[in-house]
């Protein structure tokens, strides 16, 4: 269907060397988009470039700290010079720090907020003027189940992702008049390197207790995969979603709809 085609579009996916970002970039590329991505250092960029090459996907990779506004402005200018103006932005870069709130140092809390909330503001701010001038654009913020639900040890992450949900809605409210759509994807529990410690087998070979908990809480009866993000991202990046704005699409296997199994 032509409405889902991204042919002729240029997409920037932040922090897309691996994991969810890599999968989303791959999905957008397969739909026809030209892909640019960044990461925090050259080692990660090189890792990403090798993975894309192995997958047969042509990309441009850049080193950029997305919490540095001047560096982000330079990144956007470089992408426009090397490829084309940015039509699609996916704010994917993020971190999590699992520490009980009463034990978390202030600087750690601030680091998570800086990367998971302030950076999406900075990058969106950098691409918005061009999108406004062209009167079209797609911004996709990678939110989380913790945009809606709290859990032990993730106070900083939940605060950032809750804020990102509202930033998404505000960008939609403020810039919809320019034919710019800003939506979010809220992944459920996804099998990535970031969540690997929660899926490790116990010494006796049994599943990690958290692994068992998540599978039992998910109607799909499994963790998600990064590839599960591809279709939703293509939809929100394409003309098929031109009247979808300020929406958070939860890709969670049904967790938010489910009270859980009876013990």
CA angle 251, 161, 215 (to 5 degrees): 40
Q: Which of 174, 94, 160 is nearest to 131 (CA)?
A: 174
Q: Taking each helix axis from N to C terminus, what angle separates 230-237 and 19-30, rounded to the nearest 10 degrees?
A: 60
Query: Is 157 marked active-site?
Result: yes
Specify which residues 61 forms β-bridges with.
37
32, 57 Cβ separation under 8 angstroms: no
Distance CA 232, CA 228 (A): 8
72, 64 Cβ separation under 8 angstroms: yes
Buried b (16+ CB within 10 A) or exposed e, 111-132: ebbbbbbbbbbbbbebbbeebe
Distance CA 126, CA 147 (A): 24
How buried is residue 8: exposed, middle or buried, by Cβ count under 10 Å (0-12/13-18/19+)?
exposed
Dihedral-angle region of residue 68 (phi above 0 means left; psi in -120 to 50 means alpha; beta otherwise): beta
The one catalytic residue in 52, 157, 189, 250 is: 157
- Tell me the two tokens of residue 227: 């590839």
Number of H-type helices and E-type strands within the chain = 8, 7
- Secondary structure of residue 39 in the 3-state scheme: strand
Which residues does the annotation mark as catalytic? 157
């Amino acid at each position: 269907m032509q409405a889902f085609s991204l042919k002729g579009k240029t997409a920037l996916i932040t922090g897309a060397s691996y994991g969810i970002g890599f999968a989303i970039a791959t999905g957008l590329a397969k739909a026809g988009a030209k892909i640019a991505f960044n990461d925090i250092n050259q080692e990660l960029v090189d890792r990403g470039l090798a993975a894309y090459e192995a997958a047969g996907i042509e990309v441009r990779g850049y080193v950029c700290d997305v919490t540095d506004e001047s560096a982000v402005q330079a990144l956007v200018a470089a992408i426009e010079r090397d490829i084309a103006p940015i039509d699609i932005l996916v704010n994917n870069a993020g971190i999590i720090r699992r520490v009980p709130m009463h034990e978390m140092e202030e600087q750690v809390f601030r680091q998570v907020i800086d990367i998971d909330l302030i950076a999406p503001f900075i990058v969106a701010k950098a691409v918005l003027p061009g999108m406004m001038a062209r009167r079209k654009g797609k911004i996709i913020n990678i939110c989380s189940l913790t945009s809606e639900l709290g859990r032990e040890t993730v106070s900083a992450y939940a605060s950032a992702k809750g804020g990102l949900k509202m930033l998404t809605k505000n960008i939609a409210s403020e810039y919809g008049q320019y034919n710019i759509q800003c939506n979010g994807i809220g992944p459920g529990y996804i099998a990535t390197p970031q969540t690997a410690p929660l899926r490790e087998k116990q010494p006796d070979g049994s599943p990690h207790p958290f692994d068992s908990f998540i599978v039992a809480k998910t109607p799909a009866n499994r963790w998600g995969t990064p590839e599960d993000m591809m279709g939703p991202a293509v939809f929100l990046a394409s003309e098929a979603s031109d009247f979808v704005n300020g929406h958070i699409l939860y890709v969670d296997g049904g967790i938010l709809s489910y009270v859980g199994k009876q013990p």
